Structures are given as C-alpha cells and as structure tokens.
Amino acid sequence: MSEPAATPRRGRGRPGYDQATVLRRAIDLFNRKGFDGTSMGDLAEELGLSKSALYYHVPSKTHLLAQALDEALDELTVVIQQAQDEATGTAYERLRSVVRQSVEVLIAHQPAVTLLLRVRGNSEVELAALRRRRGLDTQLAGMVRAAEAEGTVRRDLPPDLVSRLLFGMVNSLVEWYRSEGEVHASVVSNAITTIVFDGLDVRPA
C-alpha cells in the first residue's frame, strides 16, 4: 500500500507513472483487446515497463477494472440523479434532458463507459458493477414511464421496451464514437433526440 506520487513529477529524474496515467492506458488496452484478452504483460509492454515494475504502481488487475467501472458508474449516477431532481418542467423535458446528458457522459468518459457496458459478471467486482448498473437502468425506465403517464410521449409502446431501445441506441455510441473524429458530441446528441422523439419520416412541419 505504499503510495507512489499521484501527480506527475516535473523536470529532472525518471518520470515514473502516476496512477491516473496507468489507469487510462489500461482502460484503452482493455477496450481494444477485452479485459480477459489483456494480460498484465501486455499492459506493461504498452507502458514500456516490466511486469513487476507495473505492480509497483498498481495492486492488481482487478483493482484497475474496479476503478474504471467506478468512474463510469459515478458519472452516470450523477447525470441520472440530477435529471430526477429537476422539479421544474415536464417528465418529457426531463427525459430529453437525461438522454442528452447521457450522450455527453458517454462521450466524455467513453473508455470507462465502454468497459462498463461490456462487463459480463465474471468476478465479484463485475457483479457489483452490474448490480449498480441495473439500478440506473431501472431509474431510466421510470423516467420513460413518467413521460408516457404524462401523455407527452406515445402510449402505444411498453415503456420498459422503449427505455431499453432508447438507451440501447445511446449506449451503441461506445462502439464507434471517437473523440478525435470529426463528429462533435452535440451533433450526435442532436441526431439521437431528433430520431427518437421526432422520427426519421419526413412530414409537414
């Protein structure tokens, strides 16, 4: 449990790695090759270290995963909590808002969220993350239900199904969106809300 400096050393001396950098590179590798498909040797090589030097910076492979999943879950929790706390406005407006903000979080924290969405429950850490995630999904479904009950969203589709499909579309972002690419986050979140709420059909304005 000895703590290496959390802030990168400036100037003279060997650079070393702060925990945040190791975590970031680890998440990237996990996403490229899968968590189980990535060995600590792979990660050490990626960082230009030996395996044992890597273990100086990080207690275990599992710990890296847990940190990443926590990052994603914490961010999503905040977004959903904020949306539910909005006393003003309609359920419809809260739903639109949470969709938009979910897209922003997915993009801002894309690597960590990608990892979260791929977790299968192979360990206690993964199971805990799945439980937390299920709670968030339930809250999102509740927001869709509220909008239907309010009558501002079509009532001929089961709200749980709508929720799954809607956030399935949102979550599919992680499969292709890259922040270095040419598509801005606002373009994506606008496209999603336009498709989902207005539909693709052309119709008189």
Question: Which one of the spans 3-11, 54-62, 79-87, 163-171 is the region binding a copy of itself (CB under 8 A)?
Answer: 163-171
Question: Which one of the spans 8-16, 19-27, 59-67, 146-154 is the region binding a copy of itself (CB under 8 A)?
Answer: 146-154
Can you tell me the distance from the alpha carbon of 113 to that of 37, in angstroms, rounded to the nearest whole number?
Answer: 18
**Shortest CA distance to 104 belongs to which of 27, 165, 192, 166?**
192
**Shortest CA distance to 1 belongs to which of 59, 53, 55, 50?**
59
Can you tell me the distance from the alpha carbon of 145 to that of 140, in angstroms, rounded to the nearest whole number?
Answer: 9
Residues 18-47 that bind a copy of itself (CB under 8 A): 32-37
* 3-state secondary structure at position 58: coil
Does 127 bind a copy of itself (CB under 8 A)? Our answer is no
What does 180 interact with, of DNA, a copy of itself, none (CB < 5 to 8 A by kind)? none
Can you tell me the distance from the alpha carbon of 147 to that of 140, in angstroms, rounded to the nearest whole number?
Answer: 11
Q: How far is the CB of 3 from DNA (least distance, A)?
A: 9
Residues lying near a copy of itself in the complex (CB under 8 A): 32-37, 118, 120, 122, 151-158, 161-162, 164-166, 168-169, 171-173, 175-176, 183, 187-188, 191-192, 194-202
